[in-house]
Amino acid sequence: MGCHAADGSANTKAGKNTGAHDFRLPDLEKETDATLIEIVSKGKKKMPKFEEKLKGKEIKQLVEYVRGFLQEVLNWVFGLELAARRKHDESSVRAWMQRGSYVGFSRRNACR
């Protein structure tokens, strides 16, 4: 995902050149799955279409995957908030999150 970057930030040269979307932003929540499937299938402006390269099921899975970037941010914020509430020190929460046991998943390495 050269345009959207491994962390979904679109913080790549191609991402900046094309104006690719940062998947970690909450505005993705406003889009229905149908809309995102349509965008990945048919493309939109500088976003290429993938309907000839990917099966419908794969595009659906990619949309779920794309939604995961925002979820990860929310989990991170939730983790810190919970830490503050439970007076856990931040480093132990980070350690839990790195182990992925606290929030249930980590995807940073998965997309490379």
Binding site for ligand HEM (CB under 6 A): 1-4, 14, 18-21, 28, 31, 36, 39-40, 44-48, 50, 62, 66
Closer residue to ligand HEM, CB minimum distance, 66 or 93 = 66
- Distance (Å, whole) CA 48 – CA 101: 36
- How far apart are CB 39 and ligand HEM at their closest, in Å? 4
Q: How far is CA 103 from CA 32, 48, 71, 76, 93, in A?
A: 24, 33, 10, 8, 10
- Distance (Å, whole) CA 48 – CA 62: 14
- How far apart are CB 60 and ligand HEM at their closest, in Å? 11
- How far apart are CB 70 and ligand HEM at their closest, in Å? 10
